[in-house]
Structure 1
Amino acid sequence: MQLGIAVGSLFNEKLRKMWRGEQEAVRILREKVEPNAQYVWFHAASLGEFEQGRPLIEQIRKDYPQYKILLTFFSPSGYEVRKNYEGADIITYLPIDTVGNARRFLRAVRPAMAFFIKYEFWYNYLHILQYRDIPVYSVSSIFRPDQIFFKWYGRGYGRVLKCFSRFFVQNEESKELLNKIGISDAVVVGDTRFDRVLQIKEASKKLPLVEKFVNRDAADRRKVFVAGSSWQPDEEIFLKYFNKHKDWKLIIAPHVIGEDHLKTILSLIEDKKVIRYTQATEETVADADVLIIDCFGLLSSIYHYGDVAYVGGGFGVGIHNVLEAAVWDMPVLFGPNNKHFAEAQGLLRVGGGFEIFDLESFSLLMNQFAEDEEYRKTCGSLAGDYVESLAGATNKVLSNVKL
């Protein structure tokens, strides 16, 4: 794998960043690690896993200031976005999982304990941590019967799971699956993402341009539909609907904000005044019909201004973060590829989330929300209550860890 990344880095910018970062990791540790300090190590594959671990990082930093925080990433999409995160003392890539890399890394920093977020199972690092009697915890992990650990041919690889001191899993099924392969030290705590979205809600920004766009104080205010992390298959559905329905305003925060994709979105919109966020002023945005968010970092705050949310990705590899929308007490719509996303399944179950398959199913829902205000608000409350009811995983984890 290491050779593959080295060769691939010659042709791929993302792999090049990863390769360079991994080569620098041990040097960074040797320069920055304080010999007499105690480090708590958090490892996250990418940005999403970091957000799951973040409530734990910040709670430990607040309640146990005697520890320093080491944060590592595998993917550039996590490291490049959070390399200046102030909640950690050292941030670096984690070198590829070879015996040599693991030994060098763990000689450079001798953590007091380690937290691996969700699906991170690094065979050599975990075995060396176990050999050195360093507690290591799996946080917000979730398991399914079709994973290799639970197949007869995956029993050898499944031994890596026995390196963990304790699992903090999201649901009872995960605990039962682990128990079937002889792992009994698992605690059901839920998902720390629920804590994180409540933190994000608390710290949300006021966005004057968006406030001017939605114009909540107007007597004839139109309802606002927010599409977050949308892809072209999502946009083709909801824009066909809104081209024929003028009684909504639209905020579109696409997953990809390259010029080609933005031009595609514009080509799908008919007979509406459209403005891009980076080009808007308070004078020009007020009477626009569609606001396109052509920059990153605003989506979690933008959901606050919506009446109905749509979360993209469900017609591709999988939906994005539905909790960031649900926490604002509004119905959340998404596409059919949601079966492996526990939070989406939970929203469907309580009546705060809705699966759409095509323009017809989308139209039926939106017509109902438009015509029945009470129904829309009830569904929104169910979504928000769902998030609130599952918060608290961070405290449950920390109450089961010796710090």
Structure 2
Amino acid sequence: MIILYSILLRIYFVLILIASISNDKAKKWISGRRSIFKRLRAQISDADDVIWFHCASLGEFEQGRPVIEAYKKQHPSSKILLTFFSPSGYEIRKNYEGADYIFYLPLDTYFNAKRFIQIVRPKAAVFVKYEFWYYYLQALHRNSIPTYVISAIFRPNQIFFRWYGGMFRRILRNYRQLFVQNQQSCDLLRSIGVTNVTISGDTRFDRVADIARNVKDLPIVGSFVGDNFALIAGSTWPDDETILAEYAAANPSLKMVVAPHEIGEGHIQDILAKFRALKTVRYTQASPEEAANAQILVVDTIGILSSVYRHGKVAYIGGGFGVGIHNTLEAATFGLPIVFGPNYHKFQEAKDLVGLKAAFSIENYVQFNDVMGLLTKNSQALHQSSKAAKEYVTSHIGATQTIIQGIM
């Protein structure tokens, strides 16, 4: 299994290398790792007291961020090393002020992991949610470095619980403690003999609660919405945007903010084409007056969506017609009822919100129209869904403190 694992990783590297010829994201994946050990040596001092946090991408970073900041607050002299696997995390957060060093993680090989640990010499390592790199975990274990995984969630179909997953079951025992989101994860781990488990919950609740307390002032969005009923569509994909465009055309009094997951110019132009019959403006190009007179506002920049939600009455979260929905909690913390596509079952918070009638899953335009009809025409239904969403977030705050106490 170890040989197969190593072969598959090398095949992955070759595929990324080929893709980098024409794909910008793959190119950044390759270039970001170039001379990485030299750069690590140049920046990290032997005297540094390093705590290493690793996140796959941006979503995992948002889960790790409350723990990073809480740890730094309690240990201001420690140096935070933050690594990412994906460009979509690194490129957006490479200037994050909460970390002292930010790098891509070198590919998981025996020699890479050995060199990385020798250079960094972390006092502890914290992996966020899904990161289970075999050679890194082995290297940390060999060097007796306390290692944790936080906000983890486990499902029966994962490799750890399959007959052929012995290698990965063994590496779970390399963690000093696994902080998991729910009871199911705890039970699954105990069923394979992993008992160093704490049910801490999900740190994203702490993060979104903090976002709600520290929202950005967005005059363009404020002018656009005014006193109108606004639908905030966040992290959308083409299938989502097709439904949204049809609904907007049929409801000209509705204000709609569309914040796509990908903001490349090609995708932005596709969105503008779908809404071409309506008064549509781009966030980066509109004046407050132009925004106020538009029906559709397309957010063509990053970093503001979480603050945009506070201006809405209902949120639509994209990704549900693809591999899975994006972050629902950023909208729920502001008390927005949420609508999304059918692929949401991998996300505990989405299932919980549906059960509370704070969220609604739709499979097509007709169902979307029905849900929006309920929320726009029935003020009591809107109020109840809004209240349930906000209370759900509030009741789940506290994971960060549990994790910090456990790490301490």
Alignment TM-score, normalising by the size of structure 1:
0.95
Match of 1:246 in 2: 252
- 1:74 CA displacement: 1.1
Say if 2:309 and 2:315, in contact at 8 Å, map to a contact too.
Answer: yes
- 1:3 CA displacement: 6.4
Q: Deviations over 1:176-228 (max 9, x none)?
A: 11111111010001111111111222221111111111112xxxxx3111111
The gaps in structure 1 that reach 5 residues or longer are 217-221
Pair 1:317-2:327 in alignment: no
- 1:321 CA displacement: 0.6
Say if 1:243 and 1:270, in contact at 8 Å, map to a contact too.
Answer: no
Identify which of 377, 396, 399 aligns with 2:402: 396
Report how many residues are paired: 397
**Structure 1 residues 370, 182: closer, same or farther in 2, change over 3 A?**
same
Say if 2:64 and 2:128, in contact at 8 Å, map to a contact too.
Answer: yes
Match of 1:130 in 2: 141
Paired residue secondary structure (2:83): strand
Distance 1:355 1:37 in 2: 49
Pair 1:16-2:27 in alignment: yes
Match of 2:3 in 1: none
CA-based RMSD of the aligned residues comes to 1.6
- 1:22 CA displacement: 2.3
Alignment TM-score, normalising by the size of structure 2:
0.94
Distance 1:360 1:204 in 2: 34
Paired residue secondary structure (2:334): coil
Say if 1:5 and 1:15, in contact at 8 Å, map to a contact too.
Answer: no
**Structure 1 residues 105, 274: closer, same or farther in 2, change over 3 A?**
same
- 1:17 CA displacement: 2.3
Paired residue secondary structure (1:250): strand
Q: Alignment identity in percent?
A: 46
Distance 1:93 1:292 in 2: 31
Once the two structures are superposed, the pairs formed by residues 2-401 of structure 1 within 5 Å of their partners are: 2=10, 4-5=12-13, 7-8=17-18, 9-216=20-227, 222-269=228-275, 271-401=277-407
Q: Deviations over 1:295-338 (max 9, x none)?
A: 22221111110001100110011111111111111101000000
Say if 2:253 and 2:295, in contact at 8 Å, map to a contact too.
Answer: no
Distance 2:295 2:24 in 1: 38
Say if 1:213 and 1:286, in contact at 8 Å, map to a contact too.
Answer: yes
Distance 1:13 1:392 in 2: 39
Q: Deviations over 1:248-306 (max 9, x none)?
A: 11111122233333333333337532211122112222121111112222211111100
Letter of the structure 2 residue corresponding to residue 314 of structure 1: G
Letter of the structure 1 residue corresponding to residue 156 of structure 2: P
Q: Deviations over 1:62-86 (max 9, x none)?
A: 1111311111111111111111111
- 1:345 CA displacement: 0.8
**Structure 1 residues 21, 285: closer, same or farther in 2, change over 3 A?**
closer
Paired residue secondary structure (1:19): helix
Paired residue secondary structure (1:340): coil
Say if 1:225 and 1:309, in contact at 8 Å, map to a contact too.
Answer: yes
> Which deviates more from structure 2 when the two are superposed, residues 89-98 or residues 249-258?
249-258
